[in-house]
Amino acid sequence: MPENMNAESFSLDYTKVAAPYVRLVSETKGVNGDQVNKYDIRFKQPNQEHMDMPGLHSIEHLMAESICVHLDNVLDIGPMGCQTGFYLSVLNNDSYEEITDALEKTLQDVLTADEVPACNEEQCGWAANHSLDGAKTIAEAMLKRKDEWNQVYAP
Residue 102: how many other CB atoms lie within 10 Å? 22
- DSSP codes of every residue in 86-126: EEEEEES---HHHHHHHHHHHHHHHHH-SS-TT-STTT-TT
Question: Annotated binding site for Fe cation: which residue ranges?
Answer: 57, 61, 124
Question: How far, CA to CA in Å, does 114 sit from each of 79, 98, 121, 133?
Answer: 22, 26, 19, 10
Question: Annotated binding site: which residue ranges?
Answer: 57, 61, 124
Report the C-alpha gap between 86 and 77 in whole angstroms.
7
